Amino acid sequence: MRVCMLFIMGFLVFFGYSQNKETLYDFIDLPQSLLLNPGAEVRFNYHFGVPFLSQIHVNVGLKGASLYDVFADDGRNINDKIESTLHKLTSDDYLTVTQQLELLSFGWKSKKNEKIYFSGGIYQELDVIGYFPKDFAVLAYQGNRDFLNQPFRFSSISGSAELLAVYHFGYTKKVNKSMTFGARAKLYSSMFHVRSTKNKGTFATIETPQGRNIYQHVISNADVTLKTSGYRGLKDLEGKEIVNKLIGRAFLGGNLGLGIDLGFTHKINEQLAITGSVNDLGMIVYSKDVETYRARGNYVFEGFETPIRFSGESPENFLDELEEAIPLDTLSTTYITMRPLKFNGSVKYSFNKYDDGTCNCYLEGEQPPYQDAFGVQLFSQFRPKRQQYAASLFYYKRFFNFLRTKLTYTIDDYSYNNMGFLLSTHIDKINFYISANNLLEYTNLAKARGASLQLGFNIIM
């Protein structure tokens, strides 16, 4: 059975995220590098992204398992494979997906001060992370019989999903010969948000040889919260009405937030540079269309006493008792969530500058650029349970003036052999770029733990 790449991308979008764009980071031939580091060097006078096509980005990650683990056509029973995958996965494993679509992208060099570059735009982003709810997946798949006296932790339930539009405007300034600094202000308009994190408490079936009954089913110190915004208003809508409502929210009609990106490039010498950036240092205030569900309490179930008249107690109603012990509250209180903060950093060594006119690798009048560069990059992102990290080695190669490439090797949560490649063509003012990672797995994406793809068209001058 052969299923093409787009199908699998689309399939995984519903399940699975990390926003590491290791190929695009510090790829200063592209204006999109300014979105990752507003303090990146700028070598062009203006840019304009083709609307809706300047950046299409999909990134999927599965930590802990691949589709192959479950769906391998190997003659084994799928139920056995699910069971072994279930035992292999932990509650720190996750499925992530991020998708971004740049709607508008533009930038220009200041006329008053050519050391300053302004850039701005709008992009839409979907960000989903779902940790594997190991304990309750096991409970649902195998039941409690083989797990007596073992707690099932509500903390294993953790995840978030958000659909938002981001309006941004950035300022990049070459402060001096060795330092470039930049900042980008962001206005977030959240269309839909759901989040359940920091849940507490346990459920356990305890054997009680001396107790009133064979077991005690104990819900202990439960505190489970599901925050939603933008959900209540969609509940009763259908199809096109939902799309229209979401579009309205994208145009600043949603829950609003503010954020900032900061970054720098410091040239230690002509060839050696270090860069660093922090993205999405900000928060969104959710006050519109908020519905938060929260259940807290303790409950012990020991079965039904019969004949009840012997004890003189009133008859038990299991559900009433449970609802009384662990009431489910529905709240509409405003809440605030920090954006997933991201850090990037790199050290780059550039070499091979053909400034003797022997190559067709730069435009006339242009400062001859270095043709090759290599270095290391680090990435980190805050997630609901813990930070995610990635480290990359990269090699940049400018073959001709119109063809620039970057090869990366990344170690991250998903794999230790993630090769990425970016190809960028610059023909006259028209730029097209395409980038993908996990290339070694492309021959069989079913075995891949993650995949990332971005492409786009720009006009750069």
Partner 1 sequence: MNVKKTFVLLCVLCVVVSSISCVKDVDFDQTEDVVLTPVFEIDFVYSRFNTDRFVNPEIDPSIVVPEVFVNDTLDYDLLGTDFIVDNLERIELTFEFRNTIERDFEFTLGFLDDNGVQVGPFNRITVNAGNGEGVTPVVTTEVIVFDNATINILATAAKLISTIQVQNINSSLGGILEMRSKGTYFINYDL
Q: Which residues sit at the interface with partner 1, rule CB under 8 A? A: 1-5, 7-8, 67-68, 71-74, 77-79, 82, 139-146, 148, 205, 212-217, 301-310, 315-317, 400, 402-403, 423, 425, 427, 432, 434, 436, 442-446
Report whether 27 contacts 424 (CB < 8 A): yes
Report whether 453 contacts 57 (CB < 8 A): yes
Q: Where are the beta strands (DSSP E) in 175-254?
A: 179-196, 200-207, 215-229
Closer by beta carbon to partner 1, 315 or else 365:
315
Q: Two tokens at 13? A: 């979008």
For residues 63, 33, 377, 130, the Cα torsion angle rounded to the nearest 10 degrees is -20
Residue 336 phi, psi dihedral angles, 5° rounding? -125, 135
Closer by beta carbon to partner 1, 364 or else 428:
428
Closer by beta carbon to partner 1, 4 or else 236:
4
Closer by beta carbon to partner 1, 244 or else 444:
444
Residue 75 phi, psi dihedral angles, 5° rounding? 85, -15
Q: Rounded to the nearest whole angstrom, what is the least distance from the CB of residue 274 to partner 1 in the complex?
A: 32
* DSSP symbol at 88: H
Q: Rounded to the nearest whole angstrom, what is the least distance from the CB of residue 233 to partner 1 in the complex?
A: 30
Q: Rounded to the nearest whole angstrom, what is the least distance from the CB of residue 71 to partner 1 in the complex?
A: 4
DSSP calls for 374-399: EEEEEEEE--SSS-EEEEEEEEEEEE
Closer by beta carbon to partner 1, 385 or else 447:
447
Residue 315 CB burial class (10 angstroms; 0-12, 13-18, ≥19): exposed
The SS3 assignment for 313 reads coil
Q: Rounded to the nearest whole angstrom, what is the least distance from the CB of residue 98 to partner 1 in the complex?
A: 19
Report whether 178 contacts 268 (CB < 8 A): yes
Q: Rounded to the nearest whole angstrom, what is the least distance from the CB of residue 351 to partner 1 in the complex?
A: 23
Tokens 């992530």 sit on residue: 96
Closer by beta carbon to partner 1, 108 or else 457:
457
Q: What is the CA radius of gyration of the chain?
A: 26
Q: Rounded to the nearest whole angstrom, what is the least distance from the CB of residue 62 to partner 1 in the complex?
A: 13
Closer by beta carbon to partner 1, 295 or else 436:
436
Q: Rounded to the nearest whole angstrom, what is the least distance from the CB of residue 147 to partner 1 in the complex?
A: 10
Closer by beta carbon to partner 1, 349 or else 432:
432
Report whether 350 contacts 271 (CB < 8 A): yes
Q: Rounded to the nearest whole angstrom, what is the least distance from the CB of residue 321 to partner 1 in the complex?
A: 12
Report the chain's terminal Cα–Cα distance, integer Å: 46
The rounded distance, in Å, linking the Cα atoms of 258 and 186 is: 6
The rounded distance, in Å, linking the Cα atoms of 37 and 421 is: 19
Q: Rounded to the nearest whole angstrom, what is the least distance from the CB of residue 4 to partner 1 in the complex?
A: 6
Closer by beta carbon to partner 1, 209 or else 239:
209
The rounded distance, in Å, linking the Cα atoms of 72 and 76 is: 8
